[in-house]
Copies of this chain bind each other. A is one copy, B any other.
């Protein structure tokens, strides 16, 4: 009989719930607006209903291994509380995991959404061939996740992987985290819009776009860059510069085989990747010693910096993977006890 898990990706705008088999097939996905404004309890009720309805629908098809939930915030892994979550007001210091477990009567694994995305890419995306990777998710902010030896690296209190908060410019733009010049301030969608407003004086097109379009976004800056607008192109060079500095530090420090760039801004890869690779090569002798050659042929012991493959589903697949890994650990322990 097949086994599967339910993954939940709780974003600031969408709530997505999916049933995924243990070999990575997505059987069904439910998407609803999170409507965070309606409050924590409504969102949790909605989520629980979606999970229950999927579980019931497939109850005769196989074994449900558990539920994994990716959440935009910092999770205390030992208590299952959200420690910080700017995008989910009212969720802090609330026993999220226990509350959902109580409602569903099933074990729930809670995880930071960027960590879940990294696990998803490791499982079914760019990282299927490696055991270790770092992922940067470029969205409203810049999230990060580290996979070491095939597992999410949580660190001491579950706060590891905050790769969006490396300082790349010590006296740079103030960051919501309290620091200055974090990579998030140059490589997130929010930062792209800010930089576009700051530099809109130097480009007629950019100025017009900023003023005329009430929904001015990073995507519009990218379209202008594609159309040859130099000011817009320079903004993406800044994105690449910031990512390159952060990645060079990661490569020198961790010497992983793979670094994955995901999130919405990763769609602008062509616009920022050249500056990013230039900066990595300048700043990381570890990269220079292990970079793929000019042929582009990728071999073992090459350092790969690449785009994510699963798009916005990375976090959803990663969330579904969480209870499967816990189950593997349990199986392994059981085997050892039996041996």
A interface residues (Cβ-Cβ under 8 A, vs B): 74, 83-84, 132, 144, 146, 148, 153-163, 165-170, 177-180, 241, 245, 248-250, 252-257, 282-286, 288-290, 301, 303, 339
Partner of A170, one of B161, B168, B256: B168
The 5 closest A-B pairs by CB, nearest first: A155-B255, A160-B255, A162-B252, A179-B283, A166-B249
CB distance from A84 to the nearest CB of B (A): 8
**A257 partner residues in chain B, CB cutoff 8 A:** 156
CB distance from A145 to the nearest CB of B (A): 11
Q: When chains A and B are docked, how far (Å) is the Cα of A290 from the Cα of B254? A: 23
Partner of A288, one of B156, B178, B282, B301: B178
Given contacts A148-B148, A160-B253, A250-B253, contact A285 B165 (CB under 8 A): yes
Q: Which residue of B lies closest to A162 (CB)?
A: B252
Given contacts A167-B283, A285-B178, A339-B339, contact A156 B252 (CB under 8 A): no
Given contacts A165-B284, A339-B339, contact A256 B156 (CB under 8 A): yes
Q: Pick the most buried of A83, A146, A241, A286: most chain B CB atoms within 10 A of its CB.
A: A286
Q: When chains A and B are docked, how far (Å) is the Cα of A84 from the Cα of B252? A: 14
CB–CB A289/B170 < 8 A? no
CB–CB A245/B160 < 8 A? no
Q: What would be 29 A-B contacts, judged by CB atoms less than 8 Å apart?
A: A83-B289, A132-B155, A146-B253, A148-B148, A148-B153, A153-B254, A154-B255, A155-B256, A155-B286, A156-B255, A156-B290, A157-B286, A157-B289, A159-B286, A160-B254, A160-B255, A160-B286, A161-B253, A161-B255, A162-B285, A162-B286, A163-B253, A165-B284, A167-B249, A170-B245, A179-B248, A179-B282, A179-B285, A253-B253
Q: Which residue of B lies closest to A255 (CB)?
A: B155
Q: When chains A and B are docked, how far (Å) is the Cα of A252 from the Cα of B83? A: 15
Q: When chains A and B are docked, how far (Å) is the Cα of A250 from the Cα of B249? A: 10
CB distance from A171 to the nearest CB of B (A): 9
Q: When chains A and B are docked, how far (Å) is the Cα of A133 from the Cα of B249? A: 17
**A245 partner residues in chain B, CB cutoff 8 A:** 167, 170
